[in-house]
Structure 1
Amino acid sequence: MKVLVNVFHPNLNESKVNKKWVERLQRENVTINNLYEKYPNWEFDLECEQKLLLEHDRIVFQFPFYWYSTPPLLKKWQDDILTFGWAYGTGGDKLKGKEFVLAISVGGSQKSYQAGGYNNYTISELTRPLQQTANLTGMEFLSSFVLYKSVVASEQEIEKSAEDLVKHVLNPELNPAAGLKRILSEMAEKDVTL
């Protein structure tokens, strides 16, 4: 499984969490695509970005959660790269079957992101536009990796989150179909029926 991590952080070198995540991911066999660094003028190389998507099986968007949404370059990247006839619409099936994962650092606590909490909605609810992007393009949306309270996380918590992120992103059974296939195979080997 080839993994592409598209990193959308406007100040990655100043970030404690996202910078550590990138450093840890760089030790794995994944492609890191740091978009703010690569395109300081916000002018994308359409061919290059689409080629990267085609070459990978699992696409990860890594970003800090900003005002209940994504950093602005991520939205522009979607507008410019996920074109009609390529990613969606008539003939737009190039991403069909690819896996899509979000890796998000969130300043607030998990408790604050729920009904009745300070922010009222869960991260899953607030990332619905990205989930629908996966649906529209035929990608399989997999469970997100979220680090809450990232602004007050200790070095030890950040280190642990980086290890947990790698396990999450590289887990072949993150896709429920893969886990089910393994379970059914094990049941068949043991001649177990339900």
Structure 2
Amino acid sequence: MNTLIILAHPDIEQSSINASLKAAVIGEKITLHELYKEYPDWNINVKREQLLLLEHDRIIFQFPNYWYSYPPLLKKWFDDVLERGWAFRGQHALEGKEFGVAISSGFTNEDYRFDGLHRHNLEQILAPFYATCNFIRGKTIPAFKSFEGELVTEEDYENIKILYKQYLNQEFPYHRKVY
């Protein structure tokens, strides 16, 4: 399976989780595409991005939970790249492609419960992503979630890298397809 990771972290050098996940895929047969390095001026090359999507079967968006949403350049990427007539309403260029998320948080999994700090779980926070994938007729795969509040030792970071590589290579038995 041809996998593309679209990494959207505004300051990857200051990241602990996303930098570790990025390091885990270096040398793997995966295309790593860093939006903030590719477009420091925020001028997204839409046709290039669309071609990159067409060349891959599985697209993973890797980013930190950024005020219960995506980092701003990734939001702009969705707005610009998933054009009407190309991704929806007309041509459905991405129909049948697999889409997933590797989302990280500085908190713990326990903080993302109804009775926790955030009052919502990450699946609820990711609802716009799942709705977008459904709208463009993509197949969604479960999210990969990592929590900085649960990563204490070097061994914890090594384990999360192993789990991420397993996630990226996993065959998922079914895909949610609602359209």
1:77 deviates by 0.2
2:95 paired residue number: 96
1:165 paired residue number: 164
> Which of the pair has more CA radius of gyration?
1
Instruction: Provide the C-alpha distance between the structure 1 equivalents of 2:149 and 2:58, rounded to a whole number of angstroms.
Output: 25
Instruction: Provide the C-alpha distance between the structure 2 equivalents of 1:43 and 1:145, rounded to a whole number of angstroms.
Output: 29
Whose helix fraction is larger, Structure 1's or Structure 2's?
1
2:134 paired residue number: 135
1:176 deviates by 2.0
1:191 paired residue number: none
Q: Which amino acid aligns with 1:68?
A: Y
Instruction: Provide the C-alpha distance between the structure 2 equivalents of 1:39 and 1:144, rounded to a whole number of angstroms.
Output: 25
In the alignment, is the contact (CA less than 8 A) between 2:96 and 2:139 conserved in 1? yes
1:175 deviates by 4.3
1:79 aligns with 2:83: no
Instruction: Provide the C-alpha distance between the structure 2 equivalents of 1:80 and 1:33, rounded to a whole number of angstroms.
Output: 16
1:68 paired residue number: 68
- How many residue pairs get aligned? The number is 175
Q: Which amino acid aligns with 1:131?
A: Y
TM-score, length basis structure 1: 0.86
Q: 1:104 to 1:150 in 2, by over 3 A?
A: farther
| Secondary structure of the corresponding residue to residue 5 of structure 1 | strand
Q: Which amino acid aligns with 1:136?
A: F
Q: 1:150 to 1:117 in 2, by over 3 A?
A: closer
1:154 aligns with 2:139: no
Q: 1:82 to 1:104 in 2, by over 3 A?
A: same
In the alignment, structure 1 segments of 5+ residues that lack a partner are 178-194
1:161 deviates by 0.7
1:108 deviates by 1.4
Q: 1:165 to 1:103 in 2, by over 3 A?
A: same
Instruction: Provide the C-alpha distance between the structure 2 equivalents of 1:58 and 1:148, rounded to a whole number of angstroms.
Output: 23
1:14 deviates by 1.7
Aligned pairs for 1:48-67 (under 5 A) are 48-67=48-67
TM-score, length basis structure 2: 0.93
In the alignment, structure 2 segments of 5+ residues that lack a partner are none
In the alignment, is the contact (CA less than 8 A) between 1:3 and 1:57 conserved in 2? yes
Instruction: Provide the C-alpha distance between the structure 2 equivalents of 1:161 and 1:13, rounded to a whole number of angstroms.
Output: 18
2:174 paired residue number: 176
Instruction: Provide the C-alpha distance between the structure 1 equivalents of 2:16 and 2:9, rounded to a whole number of angstroms.
Output: 11
